[in-house]
Amino acid sequence: MADLQETLERILPRVEKPARYWGGEWNEVKKDWNEIPVRMVLAFPDIYEVGMSHLGSKILYHVVNARPDALLERVYAPWVDMERELRAAGLPLFSLETKTPLARFDLVGFTLQYELTYTNILNILDLGGIPLKAADRQEGDPFVLAGGPCAFNPEPLAPFLDFVVLGEGEEVLGEILDLFRDWKEQGGTRREFLEAVAAVPGVYVPAFYDVKYHPDGSVAVVEPNRPGVAERVKKRVVHDLNRASFPESPVVPFLDVVHDRAMLELFRGCARGCRFCQAGMIYRPVREKDQETLLRQAEKLLKSTGYGEISLASLSSLDYSHIAELIDALVDQYGSQGIRVSLPSLRADSFAVEQARKIHEVRRSSITFAPEAGTQRLRDVINKNVTEPELLAAVQAAAEAGWNAFKLYFMIGLPTETDEDVLGIAELARKVANLKPKEGRITRVTVSTSNFVPKPHTPFQWEGQVKREELRRRQLLLHDRLKGRRLEHRWHEPEQSFLEAVFSKGDRRVADALERAWRLGCRLDGWSEEFRFDVWEQAFRETGIDPAFYANREIPEDEVLPWDHLDPGVSKEFLRAERARARRGERTPDCSRERCSACGVCPALDIPIRRRGEAR
């Protein structure tokens, strides 16, 4: 340890932002290794500034460290300069809290938030001195597990993971740690622990399943290769968020991070039913916290962190049943202290603007809306229940309330999209820019266009992504029409979106290309300055993988999907029906406010069907 500390003191002055690697932040939990039997490190496969902004990691850090028999430390993907220094000095990647090499931990847990972090996972394992592949790990090596949204199709990572947690980690992690503690005390074998953890509901052990393929390359079957293993692994969810453990003293970073503020989670799930949105499907059903719980947690968060801002976090925070009353209570209680309340996203309606106005009395920054598509026809296809008049009225109200800069988010390449839909984005943006509010003025409208990526467990999971060349043509078509004094256009590169689609819809065979790309030098692929698509193309060629087979191919609805053995609770029949409604341009209402849409998740998870705000 002393040698590592001395070497760090020598090399950290040579890297950008040394605080990324030092630890010691306010509210950090540092336990005595000699007193704790179960030792786990949470690995976020992106840089510190991104990982420290992730609410799920804060929750797990609190849940594990609240136990007297376990510890959880943190590690993040090093930037290229730190990796270079570590390799040159022969140092292993280490945890922030105690500077312990990763290979000394019992469990290494990854959160899978984004497909373009997958090479970072391999890099962290290698830098930590852990064998890449689960099959190569010996007795005494850490168990490597993963969870998060991308865990609902972890197949491209299957050879590298010992087991996967489906659903909300705090609901199942305690059971895993209990099991591990008992197994460790009894001196069991690695295989015995995997067999035991595979019996925990919500846990998937990839090695216990075999995948067979048809001659055309499609999946024929995914089946257990031993008795006692579930044919389908069902996700775990927290039933009552009021009783769930929540981090009221989160670690406060030393440097600016993406979301550097206290985060108050209002609810989980979303029932708006946008057909492109994976989060809206896999995090169902909606479960809200009581306002009393939220106000109590807000008070403790602010006292323990010293933050001057509290963010109301959820997939669609303005859908919280008592959002107006909650905002009023927070502003009344903390506004005089200079503490701001913020919303991460806004609906395109006047109610949203009114709530935003309440919490931005002093400073008016830019305000963001996400129409997603440029025409009403396409918004109906994707079930984005917002109309052009609603959007224009919201912008008008926001401009008159003092905002003058607006951001509009859209997707290019959505199913059934035509050039008319693409040009509709420019037309809608121009209408926004040309609005004449009674008070104030609109100075800038920024249009941001991402490329549609089909996601597992959504109604569009069978769709193929539009080819890269066509995505670029559509982006440029739009760009040429977004010329104007108050208009600005930003877009995502099709190559990164293509790779995201490959790993979003990939099976286990894609793992070979992933490993080869990493060995050729790919990492930090989500950062445009580090993304090297030519190297990825080389990796696919050398491993004989056709990436277009995964990204661009439309999948027949009766074909076995690589993720069919993983169950988010939403039925495949519902997803098929939603896809058919999309093609007919039919909308599906928000089931938390209107009628049940029969997605199947409530009965599958034994959760009573309720409307928003109904008592338990």
Give the pLDDT score at 361: 53
Beta strands in 98-216 (DSSP E): 107-111, 143-147, 163-165, 203-204, 209-213
pLDDT score of 245 more than 70: yes
Section 242-255 average pLDDT: 92
pLDDT score of 400 more than 70: yes
pLDDT score of 363 more than 80: no
Which pTM was predicted? 0.95
Give the pLDDT score at 70: 98
Handedness of CA 544, 550, 552, 557 (dihedral sign): positive
The three-state DSSP-derived secondary structure of 397-416 is: HHHHCCCCEEEEEEEECCCC
Amino acid letter for position 587? R
pLDDT score of 362 more than 50: no
Report the C-alpha gap between 233 and 207 in whole angstroms.
Answer: 14
pLDDT score of 541 more than 90: yes
Contact 186, 112 (CB under 8 A): no
Contact 103, 125 (CB under 8 A): no
Domain boundaries, the chain: 2-234, 362-509+545-554
Report the C-alpha gap between 259 and 483 in whole angstroms.
Answer: 32
CA atoms within 13 A on the CB side of 29: 22
Report the C-alpha gap between 597 and 589 in whole angstroms.
Answer: 7
pLDDT mean across residues, the chain: 93
Q: Of 15, 76, 92, 90, nearest to 42 (Cα)?
A: 76
Full DSSP string of 290-358 = PHHHHHHHHHHHHHHH--SEEEEESTTGGGSTTHHHHHHHHHHHHGGGT-EEE-S---SSHHHHHHHHH
pLDDT score of 95 more than 90: yes
CA atoms within 13 A on the CB side of 89: 20
CB count, 10 Å around CB of 55? 17
Under DSSP, the state recorded for 487 is E
CB count, 10 Å around CB of 197? 22
Confidence at 591, pLDDT banded by 50, 70, 90: confident
Mind listing the pLDDT tens digit for each residue in 258-308? Answer: 888 899 999 999 888 999 999 999 999 999 999 999 999 999 999 999 998
271 Rama class: left (phi>0) / alpha (psi -120 to 50) / beta: alpha
Angle of the 323-334 helix axis to the 350-358 helix axis, nearest 10: 20
Which residue would you say has higher pLDDT here, 339 or 346?
339
Give the pLDDT score at 483: 84
Exposure string for 437-472, b = 16+ CB within 10 A, e = fewer: beeeebeebbbbbbbbbbbbbbbbbbbbbbebeebb
Report the C-alpha gap between 261 and 258 in whole angstroms.
Answer: 9
Contact 120, 45 (CB under 8 A): yes
pLDDT score of 218 more than 90: yes
Give the pLDDT score at 127: 98
Contact 12, 22 (CB under 8 A): yes
Query: Domain 2-234 adopts which CATH fold?
Result: Rossmann fold (3.40.50)
Mind listing the pLDDT tens digit for each residue in 457-485? Answer: 999 999 999 999 999 999 999 999 998 88
Report the C-alpha gap between 57 and 74 in whole angstroms.
Answer: 9
Section 114-142 average pLDDT: 98
Tell me the percentage of the chain whose pLDDT exceeds 70. Answer: 97
Handedness of CA 17, 18, 23, 27 (dihedral sign): negative
**Greatest mean pLDDT range, 78-92, 307-321, 332-346:** 78-92
Report the C-alpha gap between 568 and 167 in whole angstroms.
Answer: 8
Give the architecture-level CATH label for domain 362-509+545-554.
Answer: 2-Layer Sandwich (3.30)
pLDDT score of 614 more than 70: no
Full DSSP string of 260-283 = -SEEEE-EE---S--TT-HHHHHT
Report the C-alpha gap between 147 and 150 in whole angstroms.
Answer: 7
Report the C-alpha gap between 205 and 208 in whole angstroms.
Answer: 6
Q: Of 252, 300, 198, 237, nearest to 61 (Cα)?
A: 252
- What is the distance in angstroms between the CA of the first residue and the CA of the last residue of the chain? 52
Contact 229, 209 (CB under 8 A): yes
For the chain, what is the radius of gyration of the CA atoms?
24
Peptide linkage before 285 cis (omega within 30 of 0): yes
Mind listing the pLDDT tens digit for each residue in 5-59? Answer: 888 889 999 999 999 999 999 999 999 999 999 999 999 999 999 999 999 999 9
Section 569-590 average pLDDT: 95
pLDDT score of 2 more than 80: no
Mind listing the pLDDT tens digit for each residue in 424-437? Answer: 999 999 999 999 98
Q: Which residues, in sequence order, are bridge partners of residue 38?
A: 70
Q: Which residues, in sequence order, are bridge partners of residue 331?
A: none
Give the pLDDT score at 364: 58
Exposure string for 412-425, b = 16+ CB within 10 A, e = fewer: bbbbebeeebbbbb
Query: Within 408-489, where are the H helices?
Result: 419-433, 468-481
Give the pLDDT score at 365: 67
Tell me the percentage of the chain whose pLDDT exceeds 90. Answer: 81
592 Rama class: left (phi>0) / alpha (psi -120 to 50) / beta: alpha
Under DSSP, the state recorded for 158 is G
pLDDT score of 257 more than 50: yes
pLDDT score of 1 more than 60: no
Give the pLDDT score at 36: 97
Report the C-alpha gap between 124 and 526 in whole angstroms.
Answer: 16
